[in-house]
Chain A
């Protein structure tokens, strides 16, 4: 009745040996975090290679690295105590002794900026991590489970999105028992996660209906494993982007709060330097170095983070890579043509 097949012990229907000679290398993949050992002894993860091959990301990474190292190794870079009298002369414009000049109290601004970086960067990074973690948990749960949980969490996210951040920060910091860095971290994390939450929820929703997730479900995978091991690895670039923008937001918010005087004005951070610059009317007295350098520090840090984010975009979007490769190829062809022309001349 029905056509019986010959014994299917001829497995070479679709063997790899007939597959394309050299499959496209993972350079064009979505970047799994697999570490591949090269022939050389150094093991550079592919995603890192890809990231650094993008010019923006490279520049941004170097900038950020310099700033972070400067903050970490601050004692090595300056002998001055940032809150101590640096020199008898106050209000010095930048000189060889005081690279960024001194303020009206005679404190060295350069020391203040690099020591201040410690607080600003630390707060920014911790808020970034906490914010993304919260966004991840809420967003993925809401997106995957759906139903009333999604509705409820959606309401929560909407509330936090609608609340104006800075006024809340001001009010909260005025009444919060925990002052200083810790208080700032708590407040910034609480107000800064909701946007990321929405984004991650949307991405989870779109991934959850994909066949491979249904297949995992049909294999009997428990829900938590599907969320953390099947869906989440596909959202890494989005989470990193979210982290970067939360980081940026935290730096700005922290600086803003400190500038307004709502933080602990006795600590040293970029925001407090600006606060003192404002209080001492640095603009009026023409002491431009008092606010320019901390402001520059904030701006450069944020710029470096944005540049790194460009790099991440390039990894996740294959189209951008293709255009770049086309340019590379054109340059290669020109170079080769020039080389052959030169060879012809010399021979």
Chain B
């Protein structure tokens, strides 16, 4: 397993360098003009690091939720957790426009509420089937989307365009505070998820098994839901709803390293960081100098993987 972790770490370093070098303006890292320095340090690096933190957060949250819900199709975006955060963010934006710190707080609250609602809807007396969970996610997602659309009608044209881009997942409006926020959330969230990894190995087999073999199921559920909401809330506040990262990345990691969450969670974080940096690179250069939202790229890759997984189930 060590070789796989080292490989992913190496990949991340390479991808970070490539992400910093390429874009609308190509930057050679050895000779920098003053203008290029400004591009690199003020725009490109913060953006690449934000992509890394968002990718790590979403992939780790996906891996954690999948084990907790015993469902390889669980994903923050598909469960409506991302949209919950987006609505929270939007409410903060509309109701308290000048209080910037409220946005991530409201995004977190939105993520928590959406998580609880989906979980309660999917739960039935006979347990929770894959289909029930996916359907509940679809319902919550579409409901929240329509509420968000209603709110966008309150925005003026200029705000509307940036908001629509943000909703699709967009890293072009990276701010330093967003980068720091995501760094802190990623570190805290991933450590909490990692601390529950061994319990999640039992939860993944079955909730009954977990209870029988000494897992405090309620506490694990609370910690994993809380950590995922933190990871997703911070990511959405900084970059909108980047979808499918939490689905694609843990799936590929499991193929390579097996299902033990003590490796799946950290490896997903590493691989997720690389994945979003690369997706954002494509978003920046595909139709340069114009940009695509990064969420469109991740969805283009992720939707076929989702269909593949659903068929195999």
- A, B co-complexed: no
Q: Write the residues of chain B forming the contact surface with A, with a CB cutoff of 8 angstroms.
A: none
